[in-house]
Amino acid sequence: MNDTEYKVLMIDDDELIARSTAEYFNILGCKTAYVTSYDAAVKFLDTHEISLVTARHKSR
């Protein structure tokens, strides 16, 4: 049995996408938080230990 706890930070400027992706990851067993800006991500990472960061970039 794998007892590893994965902590994920989802970064996306679209709150609906960030929130729904984080909820999906949580259902899969990954403790996931989300932020909607670079500044919020930096602030979060200053105070939390994370295993994986996911980000979505809009191409124009």
Domain limits, the chain:
7-55
Q: How far apart are the first and last CA of the chain?
A: 44
Question: What amino acid is encoded at 39 in this protein?
Answer: D
Positive or negative, the CA dihedral 6, 11, 15, 18 is negative
**Is the pTM value of this prediction over 0.85?**
no
Please give the pLDDT value at position 26: 94
pLDDT tens, residue by residue, 21-43: 999 999 999 999 999 999 999 99
Residue 5's pLDDT band, with cuts at 50, 70 and 90, is confident
Quote the CATH superfamily of domain 7-55. Answer: Response regulator (3.40.50.2300)
52 pairs with which residues across the strands? 8
What does the block give as tokens for 12? 């996306």
